[in-house]
Amino acid sequence: MSRFLTSIAVAEPLQTSAENAINGRDAESFVMARCLLACRGEGQWGSREDDNSKIDMIMSIEHPWCPKERMLILCQAKSGASYGRMEKRGGFKLFKRAKTRARRTNHAVCILWVDRDTNHSFWAYVHPDSTATAQNYGNHHRIGPAMVYDLARSMSHASGNRRGGRGVIIPETMPDLKASRSKAIASYRSHKVVRSPVLGDIEFTKHGWRHMFRKSRSASSKQASLGLIPRLPAILQHQPSTMALLDVRFERECELETRTAEYLLKFRDVRRRSALGVDTTTTAHVRVIEEIRYPQRWYRSAMLSQQIKRRVILKSAYYKDV
């Protein structure tokens, strides 16, 4: 059998300015295809008219916790050192140049960035009102199966949901701790799952109850949790005033990867009623744990959706007066 290519040496791809155009096109195709596979969505490459608006791909994805609803996401694909760089501690840094170009439109844009040397790819969701300064993103911004849930959370920023717990009133705290506990546990058991606009279904499990009422916790903190729990389902249906990622870690076992993230949601417009019937503003603090499990080599699976599992459970809830 003839082998006509044996005379051509195998070499690393060149990355001089002469190859910028072809390398850029290849990298964009690579990162867009990878994102589409990770999200199990449908995509349309940008037309010439869309390109003039700096949109490389329009992606349609089934919403992870809103049945019969789809998310439409506008994507820009970037590569190379002009737009970002990988960080030694994990994650990547998105430069001002990339964010400025994304903010030229009146829509939120998902920036997809790939490092050409390692093929590691990341995403960042830029709102029209986002700052144009360079920004660091953690390892949880790697393109992968978990990003669908993160995108849904990012898109809820502009939703019309009620916000901050406005209109929810925590009744007067019962002086009898035993009576408060009885009322709270009845409410906790009756609401096994509550749907949040930013996290989807949050489960009320034994883990959360045991954490809130462990022996080492002070009586005043337990009372704050007992008073809030009956109103917690109503509060969680609101958009939080602020939401922070407290911790995220990755574990690998048996060819599966699990991402565990802990979030703190604050609802600053909740009201608390005193014994005299006077309402004062308080802030509800809610901590939740999210676990997402998927195959380590998800990009090799033709039937990925059934291999992705996710749970969100309540860790703690209490109020703190402003």
pLDDT at 51: 53
Task: Quote the CA–CA distance of 270 and 198 in Å, as a whole number.
Answer: 18
pLDDT at 2: 65
Query: Quick check: 289 and 203 in contact, CB under 8 A?
Result: no
Task: Quote the CA–CA distance of 54 and 48 in Å, as a whole number.
Answer: 10
The predicted model scores a pTM of 0.91
Task: Quote the CA–CA distance of 296 and 257 in Å, as a whole number.
Answer: 5
Q: Is 24 helix (H, G, I), strand (E, B) or coil?
A: helix
- CB neighbour class for 231 (10 Å; exposed up to 12, middle 13-18, buried from 19): buried
Number of CB atoms found within 10 A of residue 255's CB: 8
**What is the total residue count of the chain?**
322
Note down pLDDT in tens along the chain; length 322 residues.
667 888 888 788 888 788 888 888 898 899 999 999 999 999 988 764 555 557 889 999 999 999 889 999 999 999 988 899 999 989 999 999 999 888 877 889 999 999 999 999 999 999 888 888 999 999 999 999 999 999 999 998 766 678 899 999 988 776 677 778 888 899 999 988 999 999 999 999 999 999 999 999 998 899 899 999 999 999 999 999 999 999 999 999 999 999 999 999 999 999 998 777 778 899 999 999 999 999 999 999 999 999 999 999 999 999 998 6
